[in-house]
Structure 1
Amino acid sequence: MNIISYHELRKISPQKARELVRKVFESNNKNVSKTAKILGVSRHTVRRAVYGPLEDKSKKPKSSPKKLSSELENFIVEESKKTGFRYRRLSFYLLRKYGIKISENTIKSILRRNSVARKTKRTKKGERSLYDYETLIPFSEFQLDTKHLLDKESLPKEVYEHMKRYNLPCYEWNIIDVATRTRFTAYSYELSSAFGFMFISLVALWLRTHNVRNIIKIRLDNGAEFCGGSERKLKQWNEMLSFLGVELNPIPPKAKHLMGIIENSHRADDEYFLMIHAERCKTKDEFIQRAQKWQDTWNFFRPHNGKGMNGRTPFEKFIASKSLVSSHIFQFPTLLLEDIMKKVGTFYSLFCNKFGGKYVFTTYRLKQGFFEVSQGACLKLSF
């Protein structure tokens, strides 16, 4: 009698293999030992095929004491879909926002089991670097941009509604040093060129006060809060800011890739600051205080893996450069530009008044998180 191998048939279909066992068992007077010998299997296998179900039994363990509850698993899936994070970022996000510590591998298994789709994006290969990162000196090349905080596409709905309900600042102003990734940040409730000029002036004065002596080149877009694509306005700003050694270089239209460093930092703002801390703030002062802590975390403690950084923090990269710039430069105060305007007005007057053939600058000293005017003081800048 020619019979197909039980083991070969089982690879095709376990049900068919057990049906074969039952047929051989019946044709041999229900003799278990003889059936097992013919098919080359154990007697236990024969009894299992004859007296048990045709389907394989579930391999799921009867008890899983370390298994996450279905409620927690559903929560992780919902947070992943809402934020778009994968296992590594989601693990960090759950720990920072909810205090829930779950390993990356566990989250990876949950996302795979629930078929959570992964967001993909196209990348271009073979592009040249934006800068020569190995030869850049600290605080010479900068990128400047603003971020609209109330963004429905970037923030979860509850965070967006909370910021709107409690009237938290709407715009973030950032200048980032390309060499060290050091950030200088301010916030406002509206965008205007007056605030743009004020923020650039504040950062430039801060840099010069802390012994930055090289030319400060700032790359920015053509937004209305800056020069708005106007050649006349750009020439005027560059002429006024030249007394601080600042040179503004707008990018060409539709060339956002030239601002890649600061655009990536905006994503980190969403993921590690706004999504976690914005809901804990009910006043603008609370928001500014947490924003200050976020800037300090970025500058002193957060490692960066971008080109030229090699996993170092901005402060570590600065120390390694052996620059003569004062390390106090990293303690730039996070400000609300409306508060500065109430105290000193716009900054255009700083560059338009002459005194004895020299340009008069107003010096500022830090007090309670804001710049306070020191009346009658004249700051002589040489570079």
Structure 2
Amino acid sequence: MNIIPYHELRKISPEKARELIRKVFEANNKNISKTAKILGVSRHTVRRAVYGPVEDKSRKPKTCPKKLSSELENLIIQEAKKTGFRYRRLSLYLFRKYGVKISENTIKSILKRNSVPRKTRKTKKGERSLYDYESLIPFSEFQLDTKHLLDKESLPKEVYEHMIKYNLPCYEWNMIDVATRTRFTAYSYELSSTFGFMFITLVVLWLRTHNVRNPIRIRLDNGAEFCGGSEKKLKEWNEMLSFLGVELNPIPPKAKHLMGIIENSHRADDEYFLMIHAERCITKDEFMTRAQKWQDTWNFYRPHNGKGMNGRTPFEKFRDSKILVSSHVFQFPTLLLEDLLKKVGTFYSLFCNKLGGKYVFTTCHLQDCLYLHETYNSINKYNY
């Protein structure tokens, strides 16, 4: 009888190989030893093929003490689909939100095994740097922008519903120093040019109070909360702010890539602050307290790997620059602009009427403007 060797047939099909054993077994009066000798296999293999199933048995271990529970694995899959994070960022996210520390390799295996799709982003290569980062003086170049917290695109649906239910602030105002990545933040319920001018003046007064003496150049977009593309308003604002050594520099239309640094910081707000902490706040004060802690974490503890940073925190980059600026500049209080408006007005009162064709700055309200450091001193719980 012309028989294909068992081991060669098994490489093709394990089921066919066991059927062959059964045929030879029946042809030899069900003699296990003779069947094993003919096919060149062990008697155990013959018994397995004759009395067991034709298919291969599962090689899955019966016990796996180190395997994650199904509940935890489902949580990883759920958060991966909701956030779009991959294994590295998802590992940090789970630790920050739930206090669960899971290996990146474990998360990577789970995502691969469950075929969780990854979000792709188009990037342009070969572009020039926006600044000469190595030669920048700290607190000389800034980017200014606002973030709509309820844009309903960046965060999970339940976060938006929670923020609307408890009437948390709707807008975030950010100014970021390009050289050190230091951020100055405020919040509001409305978006208007009044708040835009207030926020710019507030940050600049804070910088000047802490011995920042160099000219300040602020890059901003053409939103209605700033100059809104109006040459007249831009000229007026620049005239008023020129006394403080400030120049506003709007970007051209549709050139959002020029605001890349602050846009990236907004993405970090979504991933490390709003996604995790917004649902834990049920009052405005709780939200502002957590916002203050997030800004302090950003400025003092969060390392940055962008150009010119080399893994340093903003405070470490500032310290390495050895400029004669007070380190308390990093303790900028995170404020609600509506509260500030009730206390000191629109900040236009700081600028008197034109004298001789120029705006004149008055310091009569300067102490009122800087009251906020004492008012919100309870928020600043850290001593640096």
Give me the TM-score of the superposition, normalised by structure 1: 0.91
Letter in 2 for 1:226: F
Match of 1:54 in 2: 54
Match of 2:362 in 1: 360
Superposition deviation, residue 355 in structure 1: 9.1
Match of 2:111 in 1: 111
Q: Retained in 2: the 8 A contact 1:353–1:360?
A: no
Match of 2:142 in 1: 142
Q: Distance in 2 between matches of 1:243 and 1:45?
A: 93
Identity across the alignment (%): 85
Superposition deviation, residue 204 in structure 1: 0.8
Match of 1:45 in 2: 45
Match of 1:280 in 2: 280
Superposition deviation, residue 50 in structure 1: 2.1
Q: Closer, same or farther in 2 for the Cα pair 1:211/1:5, shift >3 Å?
A: farther
Q: Distance in 2 between matches of 1:2 and 1:31?
A: 19
Q: Distance in 2 between matches of 1:218 and 1:252?
A: 14
Q: Retained in 2: the 8 A contact 1:173–1:186?
A: yes
Structure 2: 5+ residue runs without aligned partners? 378-384
Runs of 4+ in 1 over 6 A off after TM superposition: 354-357
Superposition deviation, residue 23 in structure 1: 2.8
Structure 1: 5+ residue runs without aligned partners? 371-383
Superposition deviation, residue 38 in structure 1: 4.0
Deviation per CA, 1:216-249: give whole Å up to 9, x if none. 1111111000011111111111111111111111
Q: Closer, same or farther in 2 for the Cα pair 1:159/1:33, shift >3 Å?
A: same
Match of 1:224 in 2: 224
Match of 1:311 in 2: 311
1:90-169 mapped onto 2 (5 Å cutoff): 90-169=90-169
Q: Closer, same or farther in 2 for the Cα pair 1:187/1:27, shift >3 Å?
A: same
Deviation per CA, 1:180-227: give whole Å up to 9, x if none. 111000000000001101101111111111121221111111100001
Match of 2:267 in 1: 267
Q: Retained in 2: the 8 A contact 1:353–1:359?
A: no
Q: Distance in 2 between matches of 1:150 and 1:37?
A: 76
Superposition deviation, residue 29 in structure 1: 4.3
Match of 2:295 in 1: 295
Superposition deviation, residue 12 in structure 1: 2.3
Match of 2:339 in 1: 339
Q: Closer, same or farther in 2 for the Cα pair 1:7/1:148, shift >3 Å?
A: same
Letter in 1 for 2:376: G
Q: What is the count of residue pairs matched by the alignment?
A: 370
Superposition deviation, residue 119 in structure 1: 0.9
Letter in 2 for 1:368: T
Q: Distance in 2 between matches of 1:316 and 1:35?
A: 78
Superposition deviation, residue 351 in structure 1: 2.3
Aligned residues: CA RMSD: 2.0
Match of 1:3 in 2: 3
Superposition deviation, residue 288 in structure 1: 0.9
Deviation per CA, 1:254-311: give whole Å up to 9, x if none. 1111111111111111111111111221221111111000000000011111111111
